[in-house]
Amino acid sequence: METRANHLWVGAVTLVLLAALAAFIVWIARLNEGAKDEYDIFYNQSVSGLANGSQVTFAGVPVGQVTEIALAKDNPEFVRVRVKVKDDVPILVGTQATIQASFTGVSTILLDGARKDNPPITCETTACPEGRPVIPPGRGGFGEIVANAPLLLERLATLTEQLNLILGPENQKELAGILKNSNRLTAGLAEATPELTQNLRDFQVTMKEFNETLNAVERLADNTNGLVGKEGEPLAAELRATLKSANATLASLTATLDDTRPAVRQLRTSTLPNAEATLQDLRATSRALRSITEKLESEGAGALVGGKSLPDYKPE
List Cβ neighbours of 273 (8 Å cut-off, separation of 6 or more): none
What DSSP string runs through 148-190?
Answer: THHHHHHHHHHHHHHHHHHTSHHHHHHHHHHHHHHHHHHHHHH
For the cut 70, the answer to whether the pLDDT of residue 205 exceeds it is yes
Amino acid type, 237 = A
Confidence grade of residue 149 (pLDDT, cut at 50, 70, 90): low
Q: Which segment, 102-106, 109-113, 203-207, 270-274, is predicted with the most confidence on average?
A: 109-113
- Average pLDDT, integer, range 271-297: 66
For the cut 90, the answer to whether the pLDDT of residue 192 exceeds it is no
The per-residue pLDDT for 39 is 93
For the cut 50, the answer to whether the pLDDT of residue 313 exceeds it is no
- Average pLDDT, integer, range 194-217: 81
CA 71 to chain centre: 53
pLDDT digits (tens, 9 = 90+) for 62-81: 999 999 999 988 888 899 99
Q: In what order do the strands lie in the sheet with 96-100?
A: 36-43, 79-86, 61-71, 55-58, 108-112, 96-100, 137-138
Q: Which segment, 12-21, 32-41, 245-254, is predicted with the most confidence on average?
A: 12-21
The per-residue pLDDT for 62 is 92
Share of the chain above pLDDT 70, in %: 66
pLDDT digits (tens, 9 = 90+) for 255-265: 766 666 666 56
Confidence grade of residue 150 (pLDDT, cut at 50, 70, 90): confident
